[in-house]
A and B are shown apart, each in its own frame.
Chain A
Amino acid sequence: MARVKLERVTKRFGTVVAVDNVTLGIEDGELFTFLGPSGCGKTTTLRVIAGFEIPDNGRVYIDNDDVTFKKPYERDCAMVFQNYALWPHMTVFDNVAYGLKVRRKRLKLTDEEIRKRVLEVLELVGLRGLENRYPLQLSGGQQQRVALARALVVQPKVLLLDEPLSNLDAKLRLRMREEIKKLQKQLGITTIYVTHDQEEAMSISDRIAIMNRGKVLQVGKPIDVYNKPTNLFVATFIGRSSALRCKIIEKEPSGYLKVVIGNQVIRASPAPSKTLSPGSSAVAIMKPEDVKLGINDNVIRGIARMSLFLGPHKQLIIYVADQRLTAYIDPEIEIEPNSEVILRIRPDEILVFPEEEWEEVKLEEI
C-alpha cells in the first residue's frame, strides 16, 4: 500500500517522446487508470514506474522514496503483463510461488508458509485445483488469473496492470473487470491500470488520467472526465462525441454562447476557462445520447444518412452542414435515409472549445 508520484517525467525513444513531462500523484489504495489511444505512452509510463525504463528527465517516488534509478527488483511493484508473461516451464503453483521464493530469506518464509499463501491466492482468483497445470494447459482467462495471482501473492506496494483484459473475449472481459475491482478494494492495494477501452476505464477506476501523445491531458474521477472534459481532445475521445466546427456569434448574459453551424444558430455552453470571443472559430462537442429527435427551443436540422442498430439503441448518423453528428435514438423509430431530421440538444450539453485545439484532434484521426 503506497502512494506513487511522478514528477515531470519524460521518456524519449530516439525522436519519439513517449512520455512528455508527466506530473501526477496516485493515492494510497486508489485504482488509477491511464487511458488513451494506442501509442500514447501508457505502457511506457507503467514501465517507468516498474523500473524497466529509466526516464530521461523527472523523478518517480513510491511513498517518499525516490525510486527513479532503482532496479525493477528493488521496487516492490508487481506487474501483470499484457501477454501475461507466465513462465512456460513452471507449473501454476511455481509461477505464483516465484515471488515468495525470491523473498524467502528476507521474509523468513518456510516452504509450508509459501504453500499456504500460494493456495490462498489461487483460491482468491478461483484457480484452486489447477496448481499443477502448466500455463499452456490453461485457457486465456485462467492464464490471466494466474498472472494476477502471481502479482498479488507478494502483496506488492503497487500493482501494475497493462491492458490485462485485452486478450480475453468480451464476456470474460466484463466478468474479470468486476473481479479485479472487487479484489482491489478487498485488498486495498494501490493499483495502476492501463487500458485504451474507455468503458473499462470508466467502470473500474477511482480516477483516470487521459493521455495523448505522451502528455497527460486531464486527471479526474470518471464522471468528471466524462461530463467536464477540460480540453477538446478529451471531449472528443470520451463518449464517442461528435465535433462540429462553428463560429461564435455572441456571449449571452446568461453565460451561454450563440454559435452558428453552417447557417443554423444554436445555443451552447463555453468549455470552462477557455477564451472564446465573439467572431472566432470554435468546435462544438456533443455526446450521442444528448442529441434527441424532436423540437424545443434549441434545435438543429440535418440529413439522416444511416442508422445502425446497436441493441439498446440505434445509432443515427446525421450530416449537418457536411459535418458528421451521431445520435442515439430509440431503436423502434424508423428513419428514412436522406430525410431531414430535427434534433434538440440542451445548451448545457453542447460544449464549445476554441479552434486551436482542433489540430491535435485532427492529427489523431489520421
Chain B
Amino acid sequence: MRSMKINTSFLKYLDPVLAFQLIFPIAMLMVFLIAPLLSVLMVSVEYNPVNVFTDKTFVSPKPRGQLLFIREISFRGEDILLLKLQGISLGAILNSIINASVVTLCATIIGVFVAFILARYNFPGRSALRIIATIPLLLTPFINAFVIKKMFDWRDGLISWFLNDVLHLPIRIGVESLAGVALAQIITFFPIVYLNTHAAMVNIDPSLEEQAENLGAKGFKLFRTVTLPLSLPGIAAGAALVFIFSLEDVAGPIVFNEPRLMSYQIFSMFLEATTGQLSPAAATLALVMLIIALIAFMSIKKYVSLKQYAMLSRGGRWKPRLKKLGKKGLLFIYLVFLPMLLFFAFPQIGVFIYAFAEQWRGALPEGFTFSHMASIVNDPIVFRGLINSLQYSGLALALIILLGVSASYVASRLSHLPGMDILDMLVTMPIALPGLVIAVGYFFFFKDTPLSPIALGPAILLPLAYSVRRLPFTARAVFAGLQQLHMALEEAAMNLGASRLRVLKDVVLPLIGLNILSGALISFVYCMSEVSVSITLGGLKGIGEQHQAPLTFVMKDYITRVGGPHIVAALGVLLISVQIAIIVTINYVLKQRYAYIGV
C-alpha cells in the first residue's frame, strides 16, 4: 500500500523529458548490459558448467612448472648463472585468481607506500614525482607489456645486459610466462591504488592525525593506527579495481604468450569464432570471471558509487599535513624512491624508444627514425584501424553523453525515490565488469539478432559496448557537477515558465558543461584504448584492406609481427600524446578536479 503511494505520487512529477531521462538509460543498460550478462549465465548453465571445472586446462590439481628456474649455462662463450622467474600453473581458473591476488597484494603495497610518501612528506621535486608516479597509467595497449618483457628478457633484456655486460657479474635474469604477466600488471596497475589512496589521505582531517600525535603516536605507529584505517576506503577501492583489471587483462598474457589464464582462454576461443560459433566454455569462463569480479565490486560498492564520488572529489578541503624530510629521508627519496618510480615509468619511456628506434633487437636500441610514426598514416591497415576507432569512439561518446547526463540527472534529482540506487549501480557497475565478459555476453545475446556481430561485423556492437563500458567516467563527472548545482537554479527557471527541456538547455547544460566535457574526454580516451571487446568482438571479421577492426585489434595483430612492435609503439606514442593533452586540458584549461581512474 505504502509503496503504491510512493509510486503514484512519483509518476505525478514525471514529464516527458524526465521520463525519457529515466527510461532511456535503464532500457539501454538492460539491453546492452544486463541482458548480455544474463545470456552468459544461461549459455553456461545450458552447456553444463561442470565440464569446465573437470578440464585440466582450466583446473589442474597437479601443479606444473616452477616458480624459480636456476641453472648454470654457457652463454655466448661464458659460464653464467641463469635465474628465471616463471610461475606455477594450477589451470587457467586458479592461475587467474592467484595471479590477480598476487598482483593486487603487490600493487597495493607499492601504491600505499608511494601514496603515503607523496601525501605526507615534502621535499624538492615532490610534484614532479607525483607526475612520474602516474605515468604507468598512460594507456599503451600491448606495447607497455612488451617493453616490460623486453626489459626482463634474459638474452637481450636491459636488466641482464646491465648485470652481465656492464657490471660483468656472471648472472642473467629473466621474468617469463605467469610471473611476467604478474610483473607487467603490477607495474601497470599500482598507480590505481596510489591515486585512490592519495586522494583518501589528503582528505583526512589533519587534526585527527595531530590528535593522535598529541597522544604520543609517532612514525609507523601513527600510520598504522590512524592514517591507514582512515584511508582504508581509498585503498580498498583501488585494490578491488586492480584485482578486477588484473583478472580481465588480456594484453599481458598475449604479450607474454601465456595461455594458462582465463582471459587468454576466452580470447583464444574468440579466435575460432569467426566461423560463427563460440565455444560455450567461453560462457562458463566468463561467468566465473563475472562472479569473481562482482564479489570484488560489491565489497567496494560503497566507495565507488556515484554519490560517494562526489564526496571524494571535493578533495583537498584541508591544508595537507606535510612533513619536512631530514638528510636521511632526502637520500632515500632521491636514491631509492625516485629510481623506483622511474623504473615503474620505464615501460612508457620504452614505448617512445621503440617508436623512434630503427630497431631494438639486442639490449640497446639502434638508429633513429620517424618511419614508424609515419606508418600510422602510410600503413593502410593501421590507418584504417585508427579511423575505425575514432568513428566507434565518437559514436560511443555521443551515446555516453546522452546516457551519462540522463542517468546522472535522474539519479541526483530524484534521489529520494526508491529504485534510484539501482540506477546508480547500473551506471557505475561497468567500471568493474571485465570487458571479456561483455564480449562473450554480446556474442551470445546478439548472435541471432539483426545486430549479430558475425553477420554485421563489429561496427554497431563495438560502439555500444564501448559506451556501456566507459559510461561510468562521464556519469560520475556529470553527477559531481550536478551535486554542485543547486536545484533552486532549475526550479527558478521552471517557475518562470521554462519547460524541463528548456531548463536543461538554458541552465543545467551551461552550468555543468565543463563536467560533461571532462568526463567525456576521459571516456573518449578509454574508448580509443579499449582492449577486451575490441580484440574479441572487434576482430570477428579479421583485418584486411577494408577491415572493420578497431585500432587496438590492429595493435594486437602487429605486436606479434616482425617489426610490428615499432608500429604498435608509434600508436602508443600517439595515444600517450592524446592522453596527456586531455589530462592537461582537464586540469589546467577546464580546471576540473577529476580522478583519472578509480574512485
User: A residues engaging B (CB < 8 A)?
Assistant: 50-52, 54, 56, 69, 71-73, 76-79, 81-83, 85-89, 98-99, 102-103, 150-151, 154
Closest Cβ–Cβ distance, residue B95 to chain A (whole Å): 51
Contact A85 B492 (CB under 8 A): yes
Within 8 A of A (CB), among B495-510: 495-500, 502, 506-507, 510
List 10 A-B pairs, Cβ < 8 Å: A71-B494, A72-B495, A77-B495, A79-B491, A81-B491, A83-B486, A83-B488, A87-B506, A89-B511, A151-B496
Distance in angstroms between the alpha carbons of A88 and B502 in the assembled complex: 17
Main secondary structure of the interface of B (DSSP, over half): helix
**Residue B449, interface by CB 8 Å:** no
Tell me, in angstroms, the Cα distance from A51 to B12 when the chains sit together.
11
Residues of chain A within 8 A of B498, CB atoms compared: 73, 98, 102
A85 engages B12 (CB within 8 Å): no
A73 touches B507 (CB 8 A): no
Can you add 19 more A-B contacts, CB < 8 Å, to A73-B498, A78-B496? Answer: A51-B495, A52-B495, A56-B9, A69-B12, A73-B494, A73-B497, A77-B495, A81-B491, A82-B488, A83-B488, A85-B488, A85-B489, A87-B506, A87-B507, A89-B511, A98-B506, A102-B496, A102-B498, A154-B496
Is there contact, CB below 8 Å, between A102 and B497?
A: yes
A89 in contact with B510 (CB, 8 Å):
yes
Query: From A77, which residue of chain B is reached at the shortest CB distance?
Result: B495
Task: Determine if A88 and B511 form an interchain contact, defined as CB atoms under 8 angstroms apart.
Answer: yes
Chain A residues with CB under 8 A of B506: 87, 98
Residues of A within 8 A of B486 (CB): 83, 85
- The answer to whether A73 and B499 touch across the interface, beta carbons within 8 angstroms, is yes
Nearest CB on B from A294, distance (A): 53
Q: How far is the CB of B14 from chain A (nearest CB, A)?
A: 10
Contacts A54-B9, A69-B12; A99 near B497 (Cβ below 8 A): yes
Closest-by-CB residue of B relative to A88 is B511
B493 at the interface (CB under 8 A from A): yes
Query: What's the minimum C-beta distance from B323 to chain A, rounded to whole angstroms?
Result: 38
B220 at the interface (CB under 8 A from A): no
* CB of B435 to closest CB in A, whole Å: 38
By a CB distance below 8 angstroms, the chain B residues around A83 are 486, 488
- Closest Cβ of chain B: how far from A275's Cβ, in Å? 39
A81 adjacent to B497 (CB under 8 Å): no
Tell me, rounded to whole Å, the shortest Cβ–Cβ distance linking A180 to chain B: 18
Q: Is the beta-carbon distance between A154 and B497 smaller than 8 angstroms? A: yes
Check: B13 CB closer than 8 A to any chain A CB. yes
Which 6 residue pairs of A and B lie closest in terms of their CB atoms, listed nearest first? A99-B496, A85-B488, A85-B492, A72-B494, A102-B497, A81-B488
**Most chain B beta-carbon neighbours within 10 Å: one of A51, A76, A87, A150:** A87
In the bound complex, residues from chain A placing their C-beta under 8 Å from that of B494 are 52, 71-73
Contacts of A86 in B (CB 8 A): 492
Instruction: Tell me whether B15 is interfacial, beta carbon within 8 Å.
Output: yes
A170 to chain B, nearest CB (A): 24
A79-B492, A87-B489, A88-B511 given as contacts; is B497 within 8 A of A54 (CB)? no
Distance in angstroms from A262 CB to nearest chain B CB is 50
CB distance from A68 to the nearest CB of B (A): 9
- CA–CA, A353 and B441, complex, Å: 74
Assess whether B497 is in contact with A85, with CB atoms less than 8 Å apart: no
Secondary structure of the A contact surface, majority rule: loop
Complex CA distance for A50 and B494, rounded to whole angstroms: 10
CB contact between A98 and one of B12, B496, B499 (< 8 Å): that residue: B496
Are B495 and A98 in contact, CB atoms less than 8 angstroms apart?
no
With A and B bound together, what is the CA distance between A362 and B363 in angstroms?
86
Say how far B269's CB is from chain A's closest CB, in angstroms: 52
Query: What is the CA–CA distance of A103 and B502 in the complex, to the nearest angstrom?
Result: 12
Q: Which residues does chain B contribute within 8 Å of A73, judged by CB atoms?
A: 494-500
Pair B496/A150 contact, Cβ less than 8 Å: yes
A72–B15 CB distance below 8 A: no
A78 touches B495 (CB 8 A): yes
A44 → B minimal CB distance (Å): 13
> Nearest A residue to B502 by beta-carbon distance?
A102
Nearest-neighbour CB distance to chain A for B502, whole angstroms, equals 7
The complex places the Cα of A69 from the Cα of B13 at a distance, in Å, of 9
In the complex, which residue of chain A has the Cβ closest to the Cβ of B5?
A56
Contact pattern, B 479-490, Cβ under 8 Å of A = 1, otherwise 0: 000000010110
Query: Given the complex of chains A and B, what is the CA–CA distance between A100 and B540 in angstroms?
Result: 56
- Minimal Cβ-Cβ distance residue in B for A103: B497
With a CB–CB cut-off of 8 A, which chain B residues contact A72?
A: 491, 494-495
Q: Chain B contacts of A69 at CB under 8 A?
A: 12
* Chain A residues closer than 8 Å to B12, beta-carbon distance: 54, 69
The residues in B between 17 and 63 inclusive whose CB is less than 8 angstroms from any CB of A are none
Complex: A89 Cα to B506 Cα, angstroms: 10
The distance in angstroms between the C-alpha atoms of A51 and B5, with both chains bound, is 19
Chain B residues near A99 (CB-CB < 8 A): 496-497
Q: Across the interface, which residues of A come within 8 angstroms of B496, CB to CB?
A: 73, 78, 98-99, 102, 150-151, 154
Which residues from chain A contact B13 at a C-beta distance below 8 Å? Answer: 54
Which residue of chain B has the shortest Cβ distance to A89 in the bound complex? B510
Given contacts A54-B12, A56-B9, A98-B506, contact A85 B491 (CB under 8 A): yes
Name the B residues within 8 Å of A88 (CB-CB). 511
A87 — which chain B residues lie within 8 A by C-beta? 489, 492-493, 506-507, 511
From A52, A103, A151, contact of B491 by CB (8 A):
A52
For the complex, what is the distance from the CA of A52 to the CA of B5, rounded to whole Å? 18
Chain B contacts for A89, CB-based, 8 A: 510-511
Shortest C-beta distance, B484 to chain A (Å), equals 11
Q: How far is the CA of A83 from the CA of B5 in the complex (A)?
A: 32
CA distance A83 to B502 in the complex (A): 22
Asked if A71 contacts B15 (CB within 8 A), the reply is yes
CB distance from B412 to the nearest CB of A (A): 16
Q: How far is the CA of A79 from the CA of B497 in the complex (A)?
A: 11
Residues in B neighbouring A151, C-beta threshold 8 A = 496
Residues on the A chain within 8 Å of B489, using CB: 85, 87
Which of B489, B493, B495 has the most chain A CB atoms inside 10 A of its CB?
B495
**B207 to A: closest C-beta gap in Å:** 30
Residues on A with beta carbons closer than 8 Å to the beta carbon of B9:
54, 56
Q: In the complex, A54 Cα to B493 Cα: how many Å? A: 18
Shortest beta-carbon distance, A52 to chain B, in Å? 6
Residues on B with beta carbons closer than 8 Å to the beta carbon of A52: 491, 494-495
